Structure 1
Amino acid sequence: MDVYSIKKNSINPIELIPFGKEREIQDLVEGNTETLFGVEFVSSEFKIEEFRIDSLCFNNETNSFTIIEYKKGSSYSVIDQGYSYLSKMLNNKDSFIVEYNEKLNKSLKRDQIDWSQSTIIFVSPSFNTYQKNSVNFQDIPFELWEIKRFTNNTIVLNQHMSQSNESIKKVVSGKDNIIDSVSKEVIVYTKDEFTKGMNNNLVEILNGLEDRLSDWDDIKFKYKKNYLGIWKNKKVIIYIDKQKDNLRTTIVRGVHFGGKVKELKNLFNLDDPKKMFSKWENKYKKLYRHKLTSTKDLDYFVLMVKQKYEIK
């Protein structure tokens, strides 16, 4: 890929600056985990038994831990390392909680963590074909991100996305004890699992929403245990909870994880002339909510979602 800067009608090439050491990548990412990956930085070089975790982070959206590992070169298996680290986490949950509480001066409890949403992020200047193919499953709890640095003080991150509908559980079932054991507790949910048991009307609404949003740039549908998050880049623009006879949708106005939501300023305000959404809040969040029950509401509903989407 050739990259150029533009000045009037002239273009000048922007050169790639290779990273000299893994630590350069680590320092850059650790100072910007919220911006790059939407997770809160906890600690660096966290030692747990024989392993040393590069960056330990916490995802406040899913209430789960995220491990970030940095690599240069390709002489390693992301599958082996990823599942080994997740297994170590699941077998040492208390150590991770203690590390979080000590480093952030908080009092996170064991039952507040959703271990099923634990993830590993690998960051490297490049991944080889074998590494990319090894995570080409729909239910791998890993992310591969390639990072490039350029002469104009710019970095670019590209995520390798799996295009497969195959489950790793079917491939390794009974063959790998670590993958089997981790897969029973760490779960990557799919649309099929989310819509299982859902009535046809709600499936039709969900499909209609996907069709309308599919042309928007940087939109991803991420299915979780109890909800669907529709993301733009690293931020959720709307949540969808599956109910018996409706899809309960939530647009976040503002969040304060310290429990002081009333002190928040610059809240998102929805221009909703039909009064489709109602307001709801607790001490942590201020929200807009609406229950979708018909495809007839989708066009207006999407106009409301677009207001959140267009916020810079």
Structure 2
Amino acid sequence: MDLYKINQSKNSLNKVRVSSFNIERELQDLIENNLELVLGIQFIVSEFTVGHYRLDTVAYDSEVRAFVIIEYKRTSKDSVVDQGTAYLNTLLQHKADFTLAYNEKLGARARVADFDWTQTRVVFIAGSYTNYQKDAIDNPNLPIELYEARKTENGYLTLLQIMNNSENSRFANKVSALSSQSKVISKAADVDQVSDLKPYTEEMFLDKATANICDLYDELKADILLWDSEFEV
């Protein structure tokens, strides 16, 4: 992605130099201190040791009542799928540890059954990714997101999500959990492995709606998307 600064007086463009973060911790501190602004989720704990791993950041997505693991990378050498799957398995095998971390951070008294474990996901943030890594997450049922983070010479941060190309991608079509919360929670406690993760999709909700509701939804969706092509469902 090229970035240019507009020179109004000369009606010209000057290319802005963009670089990656030299120190992984610098990127981690910047994201953790601004999680709600950049990703819309709450910070829970940093450098969280659980099972065989040490997770860079654990956060919480209140919209879907689920935990989010964030991993930062200075280089793009490692496999994001293998590492992401290992982290997801670890989370699902240690639900009580994550629940305790949530309670300690927010002063809450939540129980394991209060969270929707089916919506758990892993977010990788790095300076760049290989084509293999980008293609590897091109799966609508894989709860892994990739973001490219770059800093500019004039003190700006660019954070670009690598969108999944699948038509029914969970990341290109995020939908709030509008179904009965009690039904979701009762099933969530039984999720123990990655294959049980079931991301919300538009189809999941539309299949349960009447024809009239579906027509109204499609009409409203089309009108809203006309406002700005960058909007996400």
Q: Normalising by structure 2, report the TM-score.
A: 0.82
Query: Of 85, 104, 107, which residue of structure 1 is paired with 2:106?
Result: 104
Aligned equivalent of 2:211? 200
Q: Does 1:182 align with 2:182?
A: no
How far did residue 190 of structure 1 move?
1.9
> Partners of 2:112 and 2:142 in 1: how far apart?
24
How far did residue 43 of structure 1 move?
0.8
How far did residue 77 of structure 1 move?
1.5
How do 1:85-234 residues align onto structure 2 when only pairs under 5 Å count?
85-165=87-167, 181-184=193-196, 186-217=197-228, 218-221=230-233
Amino acid paired to 2:88: L
Q: Retained in 1: the 8 A contact 2:148–2:159?
A: yes
Q: Which runs of 4+ in 1 moved over 3 A?
A: 10-13
Q: Retained in 1: the 8 A contact 2:57–2:69?
A: yes
In structure 2, relative to structure 1, the CA distance for the partners of 1:75 and 1:18 (3 Å cut) is closer
In the alignment, structure 2 segments of 5+ residues that lack a partner are 170-191
> Partners of 1:203 and 1:4 in 2: how far apart?
42
How far did residue 74 of structure 1 move?
2.1
How do 1:45-56 residues align onto structure 2 when only pairs under 5 Å count?
45-56=47-58
In structure 2, relative to structure 1, the CA distance for the partners of 1:6 and 1:77 (3 Å cut) is same
Q: Does 1:81 align with 2:86?
A: no
SS of equivalent residue, structure 2 residue 98 = helix
Aligned equivalent of 2:176? none
Amino acid paired to 1:60: S
> Partners of 1:111 and 1:30 in 2: how far apart?
27
> Partners of 2:106 and 2:208 in 1: how far apart?
41
Aligned equivalent of 1:4? 4
Q: Retained in 1: the 8 A contact 2:92–2:193?
A: no
How far did residue 22 of structure 1 move?
1.3
SS of equivalent residue, structure 2 residue 193 = helix
Deviations 1:30-74 (A, max 9, x none): 110000101110111000021010000111121111111101222
Aligned equivalent of 1:304? none
In the alignment, structure 1 segments of 5+ residues that lack a partner are 168-179, 222-312
> Partners of 2:32 and 2:208 in 1: how far apart?
41
Paired residue total: 208
Aligned equivalent of 2:31? 29
**186-195 or 154-163: bigger deviation:** 186-195
Amino acid paired to 1:201: N
SS of equivalent residue, structure 2 residue 222 = helix
> Partners of 1:50 and 1:77 in 2: how far apart?
17
> Partners of 1:159 and 1:2 in 2: how far apart?
15
SS of equivalent residue, structure 2 residue 18 = coil
Greater Rg, structure 1 or structure 2? 1
- Higher RCO, 1 vs 2 (CA within 8 Å, ≥6 residues apart): 2
How far did residue 166 of structure 1 move?
7.5
How many percent of aligned residue pairs carry the same amino acid?
A: 35
Aligned equivalent of 2:22? 20
Q: Normalising by structure 1, report the TM-score.
A: 0.63
Amino acid paired to 1:219: F
Amino acid paired to 1:183: S
Amino acid paired to 1:214: L
Specify which structure has the higher proportion of strand: 1
Amino acid paired to 1:27: D
Amino acid paired to 1:3: L
Amino acid paired to 1:182: V
